[in-house]
Amino acid sequence: TDPQIAFNIRQTRRVTDPYWRAALKSGTTLSKAGGEFIRGLDKEKPRFQDLRQDTAANYLHVYLGSPSPKKHQVRGIAFQTKADGGKRFTVYQFRGGKKGKYTVVNAASFTASGNHGAKTIDFAHTWQVEAGDVFAHSGNGGPAYKAASSGHRDVLYFPVDSLPVHGRAYELRRLQRHTNKRRYALRFLAVEPKPRKADVVIKSVPEQLKYDIKMFTVKAGRPFVLRFVNPDNMPHNIVFTKIGAREEVGRLADILAGDPDAAKQHYVPRSDKILFASPVIDDHSKMTLDFTAPAKPGDYPFLCTLPGHWRIMHGVMRVVK
C-alpha cells in the first residue's frame, strides 16, 4: 500500500541518516558525544548484510554506542561474524578519569569457533556501567563489518601497537584514527529488570502482520498488565478502541501515515474513539503496559496502526462483568 511504501522510505532514511552522525564529527570529545546518544546500547541490531571480516589483530574499534548515556548493567554481546576458527578478539569497557585518560575496568576475550553467523555470548560476570563509559573491541575474530558511507563511523581508533590491558589507563584521543569508515555488527546486551507478571501476553507473528491471539478477556473496570512481545523484523504497536471503532481508527491511521510527524505520535491517530495505546515497539523488543479495562462490558477492538497493518493485524478485548 502507499502508506506502507512511505513508511518503508522513512525507515530507510532513519538508518542511512542516523542520530549519531553529529556526535562523531571532528573535534567532538567523547564525554560531549555521550549526550547525543539518545537510544542507548541495545538498539543497534547486528543484522548487516555484505559483511567482511578484519584480518589484523591489533585493531581497536570504539563501539558506536559509546559513551554510555546512562548508568546500567551489561550482561554480554551479540554480533555477526565471519571469523575463522581459532581467531581471538576482546571487548573492553573504559572509564574516563583525569586528563582525558580512560582506564580498562572490564575486558573479556573470546575465540572464534569458525561457525559463521549470529552469535550471543554472556560475560562471566555482569559489567557495571557508569554514564560516560566507553566500549571497544579488537579484531580479528569478532564482529564482522560493512563499509559505511560518509557520516557513519563506529571505528575511531586503529591500528594500535598493542591492545589495551585490564587496569591500565589510555589517552584514547591520542590514538591514530583510520580514515576508512566502517560499521560493526556488534551490540552490548543490557541486563533487563525482572519482568512483572502479566495478565495478558500478546505477541506479533513474524512475517504475517498478525497478533498471536484474536481475543482475550478482562474484567470490567479492573486494571490489568499487558505484555506485548514483538519477535517480528519490523516495529508494531497495539491500539485499543471503543466498541465498533476499528474501521474508523484504521482509516485515520492511513491518513496519519502521510504526516511527517507520524512517528512522533507512534503512528497513533488523534481520536476520541481510542481508549489507550502502546508506543511503537521495535522489532525484537517487548514492553509491559498497565491499562484499566472499560467499565462497560462488550467487545473492544485492538489493532496495529503502523502504515498498512491495521486491516489484518487486529483482535478483540472482551470485557465481562
DSSP states of 269-291? ---TTEEEE---B-TTEEEEEEE
- Residue 245: the pLDDT is 98
Q: Is 224 exposed, middle or buried (0-12, 13-18, 19+ CB in 10 A)?
A: middle
Give me the phi and psi of 251, to 5 degrees please: -65, -35
pLDDT one-digit tens code per residue, 151-187: 555 555 567 888 899 999 998 888 777 767 777 888 8
Average pLDDT, the chain: 81
Alpha-carbon span 317 to 246, nearest angstrom: 12
* Predicted confidence band of residue 24 (pLDDT cuts 50, 70, 90): very low
Retrieve residue 215's grid coordinates. 481475543
Beta carbons of 224 and 199 less than 8 angstroms apart: yes
Supply the CATH classification number for the domain 28-190.
Answer: 2.60.120
- What CATH class has 200-320? mainly beta
How far apart are alpha carbons 56 and 78 in whole angstroms? 21
What is the C-alpha separation between 162 and 44, in angstroms, rounded? 28
Identify the DSSP state of 16: H
pLDDT of the residue at 87: 92
- Whether residue 210 is predicted with pLDDT greater than 70 in this model: the reply is yes
Q: What is the pTM of this model?
A: 0.51
Residue 52 binned pLDDT confidence (cut-offs 50, 70, 90): confident
* Domain definitions of the chain by residue range: 28-190, 200-320
- CA–centroid distance for 151 within its chain: 20
Q: Say if residue 191's pLDDT is above 50.
A: yes
Per the model's pLDDT, the better-predicted residue between 269 and 116 turns out to be 269
Give the helix/strand (H/E) hosting 246: helix 246-256
Residues 259-283 have a mean pLDDT of 94
pLDDT for res 31: 33
Contact (CB, 8 A) for 67 and 120: no
For the ranges 105-114, 169-178, 206-215, the lowest mean pLDDT is seen at 169-178
Question: CB under 8 Å to 303, separation ≥6 — which residues?
Answer: 238, 239, 241, 246, 249, 250, 309, 310, 313, 314, 315
- Residue tagged 585493531 (cell numbers): 59
Which stretch of 194-208, 217-231, 232-246, 298-312 has the lowest confidence by average pLDDT? 194-208
